[in-house]
Structure 1
Amino acid sequence: MRVLRRALGTLLVLGGLGAAVSCTAAHGDDARPGAGRRAALAPYERLLPAPASARAGGAGYAFGPGTVIRTGPDAPREVRQVGELLAEQLRGPSGLPLPVAQGQEGDGIRLRLDDAARELGAEGYRLRTTASGVTLTARTPAGLFHAGQTLRQLLPVRGAGVVPGGEVTDTPRFAYRGAMVDVARHHFPVEQVKRYVDQLAQYKINTLHLHLTDDQGWRIAIDSWPRLATYGGASEVGGGPGGYWTKAAYRDLVAYAAQRYVDVVPEIDMPGHVNAALASYAELNCDGRAPERYTGTKVGFSSLCVGKERTYEFVDDVLGEIAALTPGRYLHIGGDEAHSTPAADYAAFMDRAQAVVAKHGKTVVAWHQLAGARPARGAVLQYWGHDKTPAADRSAVAAAARAGHPLILSPADRAYLDMKYDKATKPGLSWAGYVPVQRSYSWNPGSYLPDVPESSVLGVEAALWTENIATRSEWELMAFPRLLGLAELGWSPAAALDWPAYRLRLAAQAPRLEAQGITYHRAPEVPWE
């Protein structure tokens, strides 16, 4: 409470009176589950993620039939694309025509690049609203896109309205703000993942991690090893038909995400979690015999044959094709739960797999078990431990961080979206414990791991595993609203992170989630609007 009052009391000046008001001070301190009155927050107090600085005041702008989105006469093509996408995002809810013009003169929504605004960095922005319009300023098109997402929250959920006068100046706390979805345990079509991209991007999440392969299914076509998809992809948990994405479908998804400033990080898990591959090609097995396809949920029983040179030809072929399809800098090679691979073999395999990633021009990302082997220079480790993770494992990760390896934090008892909210939750698992909305939000990534400074934290990632999540409604129910809190942990300054205030801002998102048809868990600790 005191932290939020200091932060927002300084940053939020409401109306023309110049009176500093914090989100919580105006509504009392009662944070009991389900307690308290509905949030009646002013528009700039409702923004999620919480901005670095927001100041309300002055006349607002009437957003209506005459509104034009203006990109400037000399705007780069990418800025015009941001303007067109913003117009598309606003037309549906508002019903307005919102033409996009290449000129700055006149009222409306103005998009401006300013290379001199170095304080905004690679993704920051400034949003200023007066009676004549809303001006979005950034150093980069990505910053302009994020500014547009903030503008969406300042507008009514439906119809025309007034954008309140004021100014937001905003930059992210962490460069990496991710969400992972497992399409291997259950197959999901690209269109569902595109829907998720839109949901991620509006809350300033900038990375989509795709878990493409596992024991139960292989979901991406590989030309040099075609049976991986056609045979290994024809199964899933529970014995369903499975499925896979063609290369064209994957390229389309990557391009769709890029338009929304979301980078795709593909994961090909190895040397464990590979039964779908072993079932597809007998030669990948040490004994030359292919196992049956697997539709259960146990882990740790499969392993590539570390001693076979053919294994590394497979790794090179697969990672090479995936790298060629993916313009982003990262390629995830898994490395978790390789219980059937002896420690020495695991280290030897990961040495060679990391070299293949480098050969194809990418930076390695792996689950934090790589810390117990020999992480390559610059390799990124993704931590998925939890409160009961052995101290030795945490120490190995901290040592890797001190050696210069950036960390992505996905603690299972905070950031795993497949963990049940409570015992009444029907989908999901509970091996890391129940993760209610408050627990998912109430941790500080910058100080979470002992002996790991914030400077070593690349960012945070919300992970959705799908062992028993098979439908879109189950997916969204488990992701929302916890995903929003994790988005805030990745973007907002540490001083703004405060549960009593956040629960009110989260409650204010309910009409927006419902208008978008998003299934979400109405957590009892949140006073939903």
Structure 2
Amino acid sequence: MTRHHRTPRILGTLLLVATAALTLGAGDRPAAAARGTTPFDRVVPAPASVQQGGAPYEISRSTRIRVDGTSGSRQVGEYLAQVLRPSTGYPLPLTTTGTGGIRLALGDGPFGAEGYRLTSDSRGVTITAGRPAGLFHGVQTLRQLLPPAVERKTAQPGPWAVAGGTVTDSPRYAYRGAMLDVSRHFFTVAQVERYIDELALYKINTLHLHLSDDQGWRIAVDSWPRLASYGGSTQVGGGPGGFYTKAQYQEIVRHAAARYVEIVPEIDMPGHTNAALASYAGLNCNGVAPPLYTGTNVGFSSLCVSKQETYDFADDVLRELAALTPGRYLHIGGDEAHSTSHADYVTFMDRVQPIVARYGKTVIGWHQLTGAHPVKGALAQYWGLDSTSAQEKAQVVQAARNGTGLILSPADRVYLDMKYTEDTPVGQDWAGLVEVRRSYDWDPGTYLPGVPASAVAGVEAPLWSETITTAADIDYLTFPRLPGVAELGWSPAATHDWDAYRLRLAAQGPRWDALGIGYYRSPQVPWAS
């Protein structure tokens, strides 16, 4: 079955989590949150290590945010102030002097690229990290230690107490992503930036933008202008479509970077290319441009592998996109190329992968890339199902053993466009119905038997947009499943426990209400009434 085809143990200090799950009923936990102090065992993703206890710190009108003078510390401090000022009504000035308050400091320690330590007592809160990204992730934990009303944009009564204790935290996987399909339906810059803000709350550090497909081309390319002006002029079901100018794309990149989210742009090739084929006749083997396409079938389009013009096109597009993208990766697609012969597919991938390297980027492709010759350092994004053939899985496993890294996106686990139940008003069901527990209850480290643990780069939750048209649709399908995927990517395997997680997830509901996120109230989760 194809990706888009439509058919009608908690250890050590984290023992606190399991203990809370056993001793507190669903009705007890919302009451604890209402008292204004959210305990550490509610944080999503689950921290690596927690030592809870001691007097809380209460943020007040006299609280200052102390930064260490570095640009990274100051940037994160400004972000934190922007979160806290509207709801608390406090000025929360940034300062490099004094004691107490909320302190953000870069320093030496076993933090890695994204880890942090957060300590809280009656004197203040200190977040320490080796790099600014770690400070930023520590701020996300601090947000969850405050009452949900802290997320509101108008002054709230408080109090704003942070429980006493220490968190020492760092991610399990370096790649923790989500994907937004802006090709089937187009989403504005503001809508994409809103999604980035939501991802950052759960320490997601990558947004994969699916910028081209049969139904629309969404990024301006100076050397091939009709790709956007004509190829981007429609979407599924018709309508105006749209595309990002280079300046708009760079604004998305800047917004993401300020939240330590890396943008991974995708140009899907050699299939999923009707928008490009309709824009330029020469990309077709017969020299005839097909009409624009607004349906949802897959596998019918292909670039002409034998033409030099195809590689001129790929070189120009990837060169311009690489120049706009400071991140490490360019995603070249490669899935569902059913109209491309296997020999042509291998030829195409062998010629296009070196183009990516020429412009200083690393290749990502869907896992069909493993049927060709993945270049050294390439990542393959696996979207198969439990029912995917043993032969296809074996191909992926062998590539991983040969050094190809894997991003795990199993469609029947983490494709956010799958319906929760038969009655879900938007979404698809070709990969099955995916309730919250199914999305959470698997281990990336053991999902594909035979894959070396070192080959798993991380996880990504894609959201395809055949049926979604609004930010409300995005929120409804993303929440509450995304936080679980984020936890799979961030938290140690030893913290993985559905019974404890569902209680922590329930505590997120009031926060989403405060943020204006309309979510699916799964009956598997004991939401606060």
Scaled by the length of structure 2, the TM-score of the pair is: 0.94
Residues in 2 aligned to 1:527 and 1:188: alpha-carbon distance in whole angstroms: 33
For the residue of structure 1 that corresponds to 2:458, the secondary structure is strand
For the residue of structure 2 that corresponds to 1:172, the secondary structure is coil
Task: Specify the alignment match of 2:179 in structure 1.
Answer: 180
Per-residue displacement from partner, 1:47-81 (whole Å, max 9, x unpaired)? 11000011111111111111100002xx2112111
* Residue type of the alignment partner of 2:343: A
Residues in 2 aligned to 1:108 and 1:37: alpha-carbon distance in whole angstroms: 33
Per-residue displacement from partner, 1:414-467 (whole Å, max 9, x unpaired)? 010000001000110000000000100000000000101221100000000001
Task: Specify the alignment match of 2:42 in structure 1.
Answer: 46
Scaled by the length of structure 1, the TM-score of the pair is: 0.94
Displacement of 1:38 after TM fit?
5.5
For the residue of structure 2 that corresponds to 1:120, the secondary structure is coil
Displacement of 1:294 after TM fit?
0.1
* Residue type of the alignment partner of 2:143: R
Residues in 1 aligned to 2:13 and 2:471: alpha-carbon distance in whole angstroms: 41
Per-residue displacement from partner, 1:27-56 (whole Å, max 9, x unpaired)? 36xxxxxxx646356611111100001111
Task: Name which of 9, 17, 22 aligns with 1:25.
Answer: 22
Say whether residues 1:11 and 2:5 are aligned partners: no
Task: Specify the alignment match of 1:309 in structure 2.
Answer: 308
Residues in 2 aligned to 1:45 and 1:408: alpha-carbon distance in whole angstroms: 28
Residues in 2 aligned to 1:180 and 1:253: alpha-carbon distance in whole angstroms: 14
Say whether residues 1:69 and 2:65 are aligned partners: yes
Say whether residues 1:106 and 2:87 are aligned partners: no
Q: Which deviates the most, 106-115 or 306-315? A: 106-115
Residues in 1 aligned to 2:88 and 2:410: alpha-carbon distance in whole angstroms: 39
Residues in 1 aligned to 2:87 and 2:448: alpha-carbon distance in whole angstroms: 42
Displacement of 1:240 after TM fit?
1.2
* Residue type of the alignment partner of 2:41: E
Q: Is the 8 A contact 1:187 1:242 kept in 2?
A: yes
Q: Which deviates the most, 447-456 or 427-436? A: 447-456
Task: Name which of 82, 106, 117 aligns with 2:76.
Answer: 82
> Equivalent residues in 2 for 1:410-489 (5 A)?
410-489=409-488
* Residue type of the alignment partner of 2:425: K
Task: Specify the alignment match of 1:33 in structure 2.
Answer: none
* Residue type of the alignment partner of 1:248: A
> Equivalent residues in 2 for 1:245-256 (5 A)?
245-256=244-255
Residues in 1 aligned to 2:93 and 2:453: alpha-carbon distance in whole angstroms: 44
Task: Specify the alignment match of 2:56 in structure 1.
Answer: 60
Q: Is the 8 A contact 2:305 2:348 kept in 1?
A: yes
Displacement of 1:89 after TM fit?
1.4
Residues in 2 aligned to 1:161 and 1:229: alpha-carbon distance in whole angstroms: 48
Residues in 1 aligned to 2:330 and 2:285: alpha-carbon distance in whole angstroms: 26
* Residue type of the alignment partner of 1:276: A
Residues in 2 aligned to 1:366 and 1:302: alpha-carbon distance in whole angstroms: 18
Residues in 2 aligned to 1:202 and 1:90: alpha-carbon distance in whole angstroms: 14
User: Against the structure 1 CA distance between its residues 21 and 205, is the aligned structure 2 distance closer, same or farther, given a 3 Å change threshold?
Assistant: closer
> Equivalent residues in 2 for 1:330-349 (5 A)?
330-349=329-348
Q: Is the 8 A contact 1:233 1:243 kept in 2?
A: yes
Displacement of 1:228 after TM fit?
0.3
Residues in 2 aligned to 1:107 and 1:376: alpha-carbon distance in whole angstroms: 52
For the residue of structure 1 that corresponds to 2:58, the secondary structure is strand
Residues in 1 aligned to 2:77 and 2:316: alpha-carbon distance in whole angstroms: 40
* Residue type of the alignment partner of 1:109: I
* Residue type of the alignment partner of 1:39: R
Residues in 1 aligned to 2:13 and 2:261: alpha-carbon distance in whole angstroms: 32
Residues in 2 aligned to 1:200 and 1:431: alpha-carbon distance in whole angstroms: 25
Task: Specify the alignment match of 2:162 in structure 1.
Answer: 163
Residues in 2 aligned to 1:505 and 1:79: alpha-carbon distance in whole angstroms: 29
Displacement of 1:155 after TM fit?
1.0
Residues in 2 aligned to 1:172 and 1:68: alpha-carbon distance in whole angstroms: 29
Displacement of 1:21 after TM fit?
6.7
> Equivalent residues in 2 for 1:174-253 (5 A)?
174-253=173-252
In structure 2, runs of 5+ residues without a counterpart are 1-8, 33-37, 150-157
For the residue of structure 1 that corresponds to 2:102, the secondary structure is strand
Q: Give me the CA root mean square deviation.
A: 1.2
Residues in 1 aligned to 2:18 and 2:274: alpha-carbon distance in whole angstroms: 57
Residues in 1 aligned to 2:286 and 2:520: alpha-carbon distance in whole angstroms: 48
Residues in 2 aligned to 1:120 and 1:361: alpha-carbon distance in whole angstroms: 28
For the residue of structure 2 that corresponds to 1:447, the secondary structure is coil
Q: Which deviates the most, 389-398 or 91-100? A: 91-100
Q: Is the 8 A contact 2:117 2:166 kept in 1?
A: yes
Displacement of 1:91 after TM fit?
1.5
Displacement of 1:92 after TM fit?
2.4
User: Against the structure 1 CA distance between its residues 102 and 12, is the aligned structure 2 distance closer, same or farther, given a 3 Å change threshold?
Assistant: farther
Residues in 2 aligned to 1:77 and 1:147: alpha-carbon distance in whole angstroms: 17
Residues in 2 aligned to 1:203 and 1:92: alpha-carbon distance in whole angstroms: 21
Task: Name which of 120, 135, 151 aligns with 2:126.
Answer: 135
Number of corresponding residues: 506
Q: Is the 8 A contact 2:416 2:462 kept in 1?
A: yes
Q: Is the 8 A contact 2:60 2:160 kept in 1?
A: yes
Residues in 2 aligned to 1:342 and 1:190: alpha-carbon distance in whole angstroms: 37
In structure 1, runs of 5+ residues without a counterpart are 14-19, 29-35
Task: Specify the alignment match of 1:403 in structure 2.
Answer: 402
* Residue type of the alignment partner of 1:110: R
Identity %: 62
For the residue of structure 1 that corresponds to 2:364, the secondary structure is strand
> Equivalent residues in 2 for 1:274-353 (5 A)?
274-353=273-352
Task: Specify the alignment match of 1:32 in structure 2.
Answer: none
For the residue of structure 2 that corresponds to 1:152, the secondary structure is helix
